[in-house]
Structure 1
Amino acid sequence: MKILNVRALRGRNLYSHNPIIKMTVDLEELYDTPTCDIPGFNEQLISILPGLKEHKCSEGYKGGFVVRLKRGTYLAHVMEHIALELQQLMGYKVRFGKARRESAPSIYNVIFTYYNETAAMEAGLMAFEIVDHILKGLPIQIEERLEAVRKRAVELDLGPSTKAIEMEAYKRKIPVIRIGDGSLLQLGYGAKQKLIQATLTERASCIAVDIACDKTMTNFFMRQNGIPVPSGRIAKNEYEVLEVAKEIGYPVVVKPYNGNQGKGVSLNITTDEDVLTAYEAVKQYTHQALVEKYIEGKHYRILVVKDKVVAASERIPAHVIGDGVHTIEQLIELENKNPLRGEGHEKPLTKIKIDEVMLLLLKKSKRSLEDIPENGEKVYLRENDNLSTGGIAVDVTDLVHEEIKSTCMKAAELIGLDVAGIDVTTTDITKPLSATGGALIEINAAPGIRMHHYPSAGVSRNVAEEIVRSLFPDDQSYHIPLVSVTGTNGKTTTTRMINAILKEAGYCVGMTTTGGIYIDNQCIEKGDTTGPGSARQILMNKKVTAAVLETARGGIVNRGLGYDLADVGVITNITDDHLGIDGIETMEDLAHTKALVAEAVKENGYAVINADDEYCLSIRDKAYGQLILFSKDHSNKYVVKHIQDGGRVVYIKDNIIYLATDQEQIPVVNVENIPATFGGLLTHNVENSLAATAAAWGLGISSEIINRALINFRCDEEQNPGRFNMYDVADFKVVVDYGHNFDGYKKVIEGLRKMKINRLIGVIGVPGDRLNTSIKEVGIISGQSFDHIFIKEDRDKRGRAWGEVAEILYDGCLKGGADPKKIEIEILEEVALEKAMNMAKAGDIVIVFYEELELIKKTIEKFSQKQILMMESKRLIR
């Protein structure tokens, strides 16, 4: 056995609308060996991973997978379940998986969902290794490796605050993009996006955050505005720390001037010796200590979001409760086994760590780690109450006095923070600070919110909801129109037509195509940019107010979608192309792949389907949201039925494109007036116009705007480069098109034959990754249609030998009836085109199906310049 490939599909994909790992394995000679025929396999597997006994599998009940093992199942299916179980052992509750045979009998795709990509990738590799080791009788040790993976994975998990924000955004159906491996999230797309890191939003300025991080500066601002804060100042060495402590008067607090999460903080210090010990703790983080007057009372965190207090918690320092048997150290060890406690911020509570600050506190209380507290005795291990140092929180939101709320909101506004965690110390949270001698201790610019979501007592407060609502008050505040276009042919032109319509409607459009990425019609990156990475570039651009994404098969299969849900998903057509690639063997497979674009549509969105295409029609039941059918024939039976059922359709009647329902028919444009159709002669661009019109209607764009955009849309280098671009060269024409399959050739040839021409000269080629039969079909139609043929090849052979594709095309041309004397093989496309133009006569049309557009354009320009010089030379001679 061997692993062929392991890949993460992070977007919605063919197997799931959640992220999955796709591990391709070759089972080799074991491909048809069931587990029941492998002696001892089932028993050893269950002994290694007893949790597999809980897996339901397709049986639908606990223990179902064990039943399948005993009855006999294949090893790829076993790997799927092991990968899921290993993730569960690492703390990730994943359940979905499947194993699917690829084109070859021994090759399988093992599919399983994940939350943490690192954990899942390792789980897949370990699953293969466990099966392999059982088969080979090798020892298997998974505990240490699993723990190492878990620790590495946890570092890449979102913290509880960021996770709560993400989950709340998903609940509101706001798309989320995680940027990098940290806690930076983009909520929303394009111009409507908002960035947030943990609870720090993009609305907070750098100055506001710097002030909050500088505790001396914060106190200055508060004091200047009459807000009670403890007296104190910065000390930079041992001498100054002692000097400030004596000046203020004991008890004092010593902490890093710019610290967070309670790191290096010592409270209620009463002696010179303890001040110096506390300063040693500070020096682990900085040499500048803030020495403040200690404020008597309980410690509270008040959370302000925008202009209101949304939560408040009493924070209780880390402690243990004696049982009369265990030492303090043992009690800490027992408490750390609490399943709610984890490393750092991975769980609602943090494990308690023994350090210098703890030892100092115990010393002050005349205790040590070896002491055995009495039964029920509470022993505090920290004076600071941060959750990050092992503390707990109790919700007191309903108890906070209105004057304290007002003071906290004023403090956040003074600093300039829209989300602020304000630490207050007071003996009674129900009374004004002036009555208790309480004070504001700190203002935190990126406050943790897990204490409010997971209090140890009291009401859980959904702070994440408040933060997300402050960023996006309503649905329109995060929405930009998003259209995804797929299909076999026509998707690039359709995408560009929709772009033109949206541009006409006043949007700044981000567009991905096979020709490049465009922002407001400016190309920012050239090349085939139809995958998820290119889509994300558009959706992360702050200028973009609408997005149109050409979505190709390759990206769907290998990476999934690059967006969450579209407002409109368009499928132009589904024809015989790309079969035999990426496991797509049949037209049904291809239809299933393209269907994802129609499935990943918002509930109130539209799937646009070609009603003249049988394979498009076959997937209309998979379409999510509402359905718009388009057809060249207003009497198409599916169109008629859809109208009767109350649906929307776009069709042609008397040469006019109409928007139609059972209530009305709205004329949009005469197809002959759309320049891209060449007076209606190019039927494929008529179809593309229908698809674009339907998509625009789904976005709520008026028929008048659609009309203006389409009658100004041309197949030229500016608006639709490489798609039936026609050049006048000397006394003949050259047409440049990207047709690369039978249907593409057929539509272009049909249009050319309707034009008034002398001869039709073809420069033909097909990508090497197509099936031989598909390549030959292109040769046949070329042999039937062209008066002279130049066969060229793509520079990218896609696994083919030099000249192999040309030979297949040549045979096809002969089969199509072409005269062998009128077929020439010229591998380089620019040389083939130059030969075609040299032989062209007045009234001829040369059609070139290109691979490299810029090369073809340069060849035409060079030839034209040469012709101009020749004509000028003849004129001068005369």
Structure 2
Amino acid sequence: MKILNVRALRGRNLYSHNPIIKMTVDLEELYDTPTCDIPGFNERLISILPGLKEHKCSEGYKGGFVVRLKRGTYLAHVMEHTAIELQQLMGYKVRFGKARRESAPSIYNIIYTYYNEMAGTEAGFMAFEILDHILKGLPVQIEERLENIRKKAVELDLGPSTEAIELEARKRKIPVIRIGDGSLLQLGYGAKRKLVQATLTERASCISVDISCDKWMTNFFMRQNGIPVPEGRIAKNEFEVLEVAREMGYPVVVKPYNGNQGKGVSLNINSDEDVLTAYQAVKEYTDQALVEKYIEGRHYRILVVKDKVVAASERIPAHVVGDGVHTIAQLIEQENRNPLRGEGHEKPLTKIKVDEVMMLLLKKNQRTLEEIPSEGERVYLRENDNLSTGGIAVDVTDFIHEDIKTICVRAAELIELDVAGIDITTTDITKPLSVTGGALIEINAAPGIRMHHYPSSGISRNVAEEIVKSLFPDEKAYHMPLVSVTGTNGKTTTTRMIGAILKEAGHYVGMTTTGGIYINDQCIEKGDTTGPGSALQILMNRKVTAAVLETARGGIVNRGLGYDLADVGVITNITDDHLGIDGIETMEDLAHTKALIVEAIKDDGYAVINADDEYCLSVRDKAYGNLILFSKDSNNKYVVKHIKDGGRVVYIKDNIIYLVTDKDKIPVVNVENIPATYGGILTHNVENSLAAAAAAWGLGISSEIINRALINFKCDENQNPGRFNMYDVADFKVVVDYGHNFDGYKKVIEGLRKMKINRLIGVIGVPGDRLDASIKEVGILSGQSFDHIFIKEDRDKRGRNCGEVAEILYDGCIRGGADPKRLEIEILEEAALEKAMKMAQAGDIVIIFYEDREIVMKTVEAFNQKQTSVIQASSMHR
């Protein structure tokens, strides 16, 4: 056995609408060996991973997978379940998986979901090794390696605050993009996006955050504005710490002036010796200590979101409760085994750590770790009450006094924080601070919210919901129109037409196309940019108010979608292309691949499907949301039925594009008035216009706007570069087009034949990763259609030998009836085009189906310049 490839598909994909790991393996000679025929395999596997006994598998009940093992199943299926079980052992509750045979009998794609990409990927490698070792009779040790993977994976997991906000956003169907491996999230797309890091939102200014991080500045700022705070001063060395503490009078608090999570904080200090010890704890983080007068009372965290208090918790320092048997050290160890406690922020509570701060407190209270507390005795291990140091929280939201709420909201407003955690110390939260002598201790700009979501007692408060609602009060606050376009041909032109319509509607449009990424009319990246990475560039651009994404087969298969859900998904057509690539062997496979675009649609969105294409029609039942059919024929039986069923249809009747329902028939534009159709003779651009009009209708754009955009849309290098661009060269014309398969060639040739021309000269080529039969089919059509043919090849041979594709095309041209005397192979694209232009006569059209548009355009320009020079020289000679 061997692993051929492991890849994470982060977006919605062909296998699942959740992220998955796709591991391709070659089982070699074991591909058809069932587990029941491998001596001892089942028993050893279950002894290593007993949790597999709980897997249901396709049987639908616990133990179903073991039944399959005993009955006999194949190793790819076992590897899938093993990878899932390993993730479950790391704490990730994944369930979905499948194993599917690839083109070769021994090659399988093993598919399974993941939450943490690193853990999911490593689980795949580990699953392979476990099976490999069992088959070879080698020892298998998983515990240590699994723990190492888990520890590394936890570092990449979202913290509880960030995770809560992500879950809340997704619950409200707000798209979420995680930026990098940290806790920075983008909620929403384009101009509607909001950035959030943990609970720190983009609305908080740097100055506001700086003030809250500087505890002395916060203290000073609050005091100046009449907010009750403890007396406090900055000390920069041991001498100053002692001096300030003595002047204030004990007890005092010593903490870093800019700390967080209670790190280096020492409370209720009553002696010079303890002050100096506390300062040493501060120096682990900074030389500057804030010395404050100690405020007697309980400690509370009040959470303010925008302009209201949404939660309040009493924070109780880390502690253990004695049982009269175990030592403090043993009680800590027992408490840390609590399943609710984990490292850092991975779980609702944090494990209690023995450190210098704890030892100082025990010493101050004349206790040791070896001491055995009496039964029921509570032993505090920290003076600060942060959850990050092992503390717990009790919800008191319903008991907080209104005066305290007012102070907290005012404090957050003073330093302009939209989300703030206000620390209050008071003896009674139900009374005003003026009565109890309590005070505001700190303001936190990125407060943790797990204490409110997971209190040790009291009501759980969905603080994440309040934060997300404050950013997006309603759907309009996060909705940005998004259209995804796929198909075999016409994707790029349709994408550009929809973009033109959206611009006409007043949007700042982001587009991904085969020709590059565009922000309005500016190309920010050239090349084939139809994958998920390119989509993200659009969706993360704050200028963009509407997105149109050309979404190609390769990206769908290998990476999944680069967006969550579209408002409109368009399939232009599905024809014979890309078969034999990425496991797509049949037209049904290709249709299934393209169907993802109309599956990933919002509930109120629209799937736009070509009713003149049988394979498009074959996936219409998979379409989510609503369905719009488009057709060149108003009598198309599927169109007629869809109208009767109350659906939407876009069709042509008497050369007019109509938007049709069972109640309305709205005229949009005469196809002859759309420049891209050349008076209606380019049928493929007629179809693209129908698709674009249907998509715009699905977005709620008026027929008047659609009309204006289409009658101004031209097939030129500004609006539609590389798609039937026609240039005047000397006394003939050159057409530059990206046709690269039989249907693309056919549509272009049909349009050219309708034009008044002398001869039609073809410069032809096909990408090397097409099937031989598909390449030959293009050659036959060319032999039937062109008066003279130059055969060239792409620079990117895509696995072919030089001249191999050209020979197949040559043979096809001959079979199509081409005269060998009018047929020539010239491998280089620019050389072939130059020869074609040199032989062109008045009234001829040279059509080149290009690979590299820039090279082609330079060749045309150079030829034009030569012709101009010749004419000028001839004129001067005369």
Which bracket does the TM-score occupy, shorter chain normalised?
A: over 0.9
Q: What residue number does 2:173 align with? A: 173
* 1:131 shift after superposition: 0.5
Q: What residue number does 2:289 align with? A: 289
Matched letter for residue 840 of structure 1: A
Q: What residue number does 1:401 align with? A: 401
> Hey, what's the Cα distance between the residues in 1 that align with 2:356 and 2:723?
72
1:19-38 to 2 correspondence within 5 Å?
19-38=19-38
Matched letter for residue 502 of structure 2: L
1:481-496 to 2 correspondence within 5 Å?
481-496=481-496
> Hey, what's the Cα distance between the residues in 1 that align with 2:877 and 2:249?
108
* 1:698 shift after superposition: 0.2
Q: Answer yes or no: is 1:840 the counterpart of 2:835.
A: no
The Cα offsets for residues 7-27 of structure 1, whole Å up to 9 and x where unpaired, read as 000000000000000000000
SS at match of 1:77: helix
> Hey, what's the Cα distance between the residues in 2 that align with 1:341 and 1:331?
14
Matched letter for residue 409 of structure 1: V
Matched letter for residue 474 of structure 1: D
The Cα offsets for residues 429-472 of structure 1, whole Å up to 9 and x where unpaired, read as 00000000000000000000000000000000000000000000
> Hey, what's the Cα distance between the residues in 1 that align with 2:554 and 2:737?
21
* 1:871 shift after superposition: 1.2
Q: What residue number does 1:684 align with? A: 684
Q: What residue number does 1:464 align with? A: 464
> Hey, what's the Cα distance between the residues in 2 that align with 1:104 and 1:864?
52
Q: Answer yes or no: is 1:561 the counterpart of 2:545.
A: no
SS at match of 2:790: strand
The Cα offsets for residues 173-196 of structure 1, whole Å up to 9 and x where unpaired, read as 000000000000000000000000
* 1:666 shift after superposition: 0.2
* 1:415 shift after superposition: 0.8
Q: What residue number does 1:769 align with? A: 769
Q: What residue number does 1:522 align with? A: 522
* 1:550 shift after superposition: 0.2
Q: What residue number does 1:326 align with? A: 326
* 1:165 shift after superposition: 0.2
> Hey, what's the Cα distance between the residues in 2 that align with 1:821 and 1:77?
58
The Cα offsets for residues 320-373 of structure 1, whole Å up to 9 and x where unpaired, read as 000000000000000000000000000000000001111111111111000000
Aligned CA RMSD, in angstroms, stands at 0.4
* 1:861 shift after superposition: 0.6
Matched letter for residue 393 of structure 2: A
Q: Answer yes or no: is 1:552 the counterpart of 2:552.
A: yes
Q: Answer yes or no: is 1:382 the counterpart of 2:372.
A: no
SS at match of 1:476: helix
SS at match of 1:51: helix
Q: What residue number does 2:11 align with? A: 11
* 1:809 shift after superposition: 0.2
* 1:872 shift after superposition: 1.4
Q: What residue number does 1:351 align with? A: 351
Q: What residue number does 2:651 align with? A: 651
> Hey, what's the Cα distance between the residues in 2 that align with 1:725 and 1:36?
63
Q: What residue number does 2:220 align with? A: 220
Matched letter for residue 282 of structure 1: V
SS at match of 2:246: helix
Q: What residue number does 2:809 align with? A: 809
> Hey, what's the Cα distance between the residues in 2 that align with 1:875 and 1:319?
101
> Hey, what's the Cα distance between the residues in 2 that align with 1:276 and 1:785?
94
Q: What residue number does 1:2 align with? A: 2
Q: What residue number does 1:778 align with? A: 778
Matched letter for residue 763 of structure 1: V
* 1:222 shift after superposition: 0.4
> Hey, what's the Cα distance between the residues in 2 that align with 1:89 and 1:776?
54
> Hey, what's the Cα distance between the residues in 1 that align with 2:469 and 2:257?
33
* 1:545 shift after superposition: 0.2
> Hey, what's the Cα distance between the residues in 1 that align with 2:870 and 2:679?
34
The Cα offsets for residues 15-60 of structure 1, whole Å up to 9 and x where unpaired, read as 0000000000000111111101100000000000000000000110
1:618-637 to 2 correspondence within 5 Å?
618-637=618-637
Q: What residue number does 1:145 align with? A: 145
> Hey, what's the Cα distance between the residues in 2 that align with 1:651 and 1:855?
39
> Hey, what's the Cα distance between the residues in 2 that align with 1:135 and 1:807?
48
Q: What residue number does 1:421 align with? A: 421
* 1:376 shift after superposition: 0.7
The Cα offsets for residues 151-177 of structure 1, whole Å up to 9 and x where unpaired, read as 000000000000000000000000000
Q: What residue number does 1:232 align with? A: 232
> Hey, what's the Cα distance between the residues in 2 that align with 1:112 and 1:247?
65
> Hey, what's the Cα distance between the residues in 2 that align with 1:874 and 1:235?
91
Q: Answer yes or no: is 1:709 the counterpart of 2:724.
A: no
Q: What residue number does 1:754 align with? A: 754
Q: What residue number does 2:744 align with? A: 744
> Hey, what's the Cα distance between the residues in 2 that align with 1:769 and 1:279?
70
Q: What residue number does 2:251 align with? A: 251
Q: Answer yes or no: is 1:476 the counterpart of 2:476.
A: yes
SS at match of 2:595: helix
1:156-167 to 2 correspondence within 5 Å?
156-167=156-167
* 1:232 shift after superposition: 1.3
* 1:876 shift after superposition: 1.6
> Hey, what's the Cα distance between the residues in 2 that align with 1:735 and 1:71?
63
Q: What residue number does 2:100 align with? A: 100
Matched letter for residue 511 of structure 2: M
> Hey, what's the Cα distance between the residues in 1 that align with 2:360 and 2:561?
55
> Hey, what's the Cα distance between the residues in 2 that align with 1:729 and 1:238?
86
Q: What residue number does 2:574 align with? A: 574
> Hey, what's the Cα distance between the residues in 1 that align with 2:529 and 2:87?
34
SS at match of 1:794: coil
Q: Answer yes or no: is 1:430 the counterpart of 2:452.
A: no
> Hey, what's the Cα distance between the residues in 2 that align with 1:76 and 1:232?
66
> Hey, what's the Cα distance between the residues in 2 that align with 1:833 and 1:738?
14
> Hey, what's the Cα distance between the residues in 2 that align with 1:499 and 1:865?
34
Q: What residue number does 1:129 align with? A: 129
> Hey, what's the Cα distance between the residues in 2 that align with 1:134 and 1:301?
54
The Cα offsets for residues 726-765 of structure 1, whole Å up to 9 and x where unpaired, read as 0011111100000000000000000000111111000000
SS at match of 2:810: helix
SS at match of 1:496: helix
SS at match of 1:652: strand
Matched letter for residue 567 of structure 1: D
Aligned length: 878
SS at match of 2:767: coil
> Hey, what's the Cα distance between the residues in 2 that align with 1:762 and 1:33?
54
> Hey, what's the Cα distance between the residues in 2 that align with 1:84 and 1:113?
8
> Hey, what's the Cα distance between the residues in 1 that align with 2:245 and 2:469?
44
> Hey, what's the Cα distance between the residues in 2 that align with 1:290 and 1:731?
85
Unaligned runs of 5+ in 1: none
Matched letter for residue 94 of structure 1: V
TM-score scaled by length of structure 1: 1.00
> Hey, what's the Cα distance between the residues in 1 that align with 2:378 and 2:532?
55
> Hey, what's the Cα distance between the residues in 2 that align with 1:248 and 1:174?
52
The Cα offsets for residues 466-524 of structure 1, whole Å up to 9 and x where unpaired, read as 00000000001001100000000000000000000000000000000000000011000
* 1:533 shift after superposition: 0.1
> Hey, what's the Cα distance between the residues in 1 that align with 2:42 and 2:135?
11
> Hey, what's the Cα distance between the residues in 2 that align with 1:767 and 1:500?
30
1:263-302 to 2 correspondence within 5 Å?
263-302=263-302
Q: Answer yes or no: is 1:669 the counterpart of 2:669.
A: yes
> Hey, what's the Cα distance between the residues in 2 that align with 1:552 and 1:248?
70
**Which runs of at least 4 in structure 1 moved beyond 6 Å after TM superposition?**
none
The Cα offsets for residues 563-605 of structure 1, whole Å up to 9 and x where unpaired, read as 0000000000000000000000000000000000000000000
Q: What residue number does 1:83 align with? A: 83
* 1:875 shift after superposition: 1.5
* 1:874 shift after superposition: 1.5
* 1:643 shift after superposition: 0.2
> Hey, what's the Cα distance between the residues in 1 that align with 2:223 and 2:264?
25
Q: Percent identity, please.
A: 86
> Hey, what's the Cα distance between the residues in 1 that align with 2:738 and 2:537?
25
> Hey, what's the Cα distance between the residues in 1 that align with 2:493 and 2:194?
32
> Hey, what's the Cα distance between the residues in 1 that align with 2:798 and 2:74?
33
Unaligned runs of 5+ in 2: none
